[in-house]
Amino acid sequence: MRQGLAFRGHDEGKNSHNQGNFRELLAWLAGNFEEVNKVVLGNAPGNCQMIDHKIQKQLIASCAHETTKLVIEELGDEWFAILADESSDAYQQEQLALCLRFVNKNGEPVERFLGLVHVEDTTSLTLKEAIQSLLIRYQLPLSKIRGQGYDGASNMKGHANGLKKLIMDESPSAYYVHCSTHQLQLTLVAVAKENTDCDWFFG
C-alpha cells in the first residue's frame, strides 16, 4: 500500500503465472521465511486466510478509519483550514479529495488527508455538500474553518456562487487562498508551451 501498488491481479487462480502483487509477495514471504509459511496460504485455517477481496477491503477500511481517528485526535478542538481538489477517477467518475491544514501541539503546521468523496458533479453546491458531509462525519463543524485552499476554477473561487463564497457564508473567517502549487503548475505549463527545452523536458 505504501508504494501505491494494486492488490489484485487479473487472474488470481491457483494455475495463474502472476496472481497479483499481494498474493505473489505473500507466496514469496512464505517461500523464504518458515515462520511466515506456517500461518499463511495453504497452512492457514480455511476461513482465516485473509486473501479474499472483501476481507482485504475491510482491512484497508479499518486501517483508514484508525488513521483518520489519529488525525482527528491530533487536531483536537483547534481551528483548521481545508484544502480541496476535484478530479476524475479511472472510471471517469468525479471525486473530491479533502485535506486539513492546522497547527499541531508542537506549533508546526501540518497537512493531513481526511478523505475522498465521490460526487455526482463538480458544481460548487455539490462540492460544498460533500465537504460538509465529510466534516460532519468526523464531528468537525464548518464554523471551525479558518482557511480555504483550492485551484482557480470558477466553481471553486467564484465570488457569487463559488465554493469559497458558500463556505464563507457558513464561516466568515474562512479566508480563501489560491493554492500555490496550482499556481506553480500553471506557470510551468505556460513556460513549457513557450520554451522548447522545457517542453521537451516535461514531455
For residue 182, what pLDDT is reported? 63
Query: Is 89 within a domain?
Result: yes
In-domain check, residue 107: yes
101: pLDDT strictly greater than 70: yes
- The CA distance from 168 to 114, in Å, is 20
The whole domain housing 182 covers: 65-191
**How much is the pLDDT for 160?**
56
**Model confidence, pTM:** 0.64
Distance from CA of residue 28 to its chain's centroid? 30
**Number of domains composing the chain:** 1
CA distances from 169 to 14, 124, 126, 163 (A): 58, 13, 15, 10
Percent of the chain clearing pLDDT 70 (strictly above):
84
Residue 80 counted as domain residue: yes
The 10s digit of each residue's pLDDT in 26-83 is 788 888 888 888 878 777 777 776 777 777 788 788 888 899 999 999 988 889 998 8
Report the CATH number that the domain containing residue 153 is assigned in CATH: 3.30.420.40
> Mean pLDDT across the stretch 130-146?
88
- Which DSSP category does 120 fall into? S
pLDDT at 150 over 70: yes
Average pLDDT over residues 130-136: 89
Q: Is residue 3 part of a domain?
A: no
Residue 122 has pLDDT above 60, yes or no: yes
Residue 198 lies in a domain: no
**pLDDT score recorded for residue 102:** 92
DSSP state letter for 15: T
DSSP 75: H
Contacts of 91 (CB under 8 A, 6+ apart): none
Average pLDDT score over the chain: 80
Residue 201 lies in a domain: no
Q: For 14-30, how does the pLDDT look when each residue is reduced to its tens digit (9 = 90+)? A: 777 777 777 778 788 88
Cβ-contact 127, 96 below 8 angstroms = yes
Does residue 176 sit within a domain? yes
Which value, in Å, is the radius of gyration of the alpha carbons in the chain?
A: 22
Residue 105 half-sphere exposure, CB side, CA atoms within 13 Å? 7
Is there a domain that residue 19 lies in?
no
pLDDT given at position 179? 62
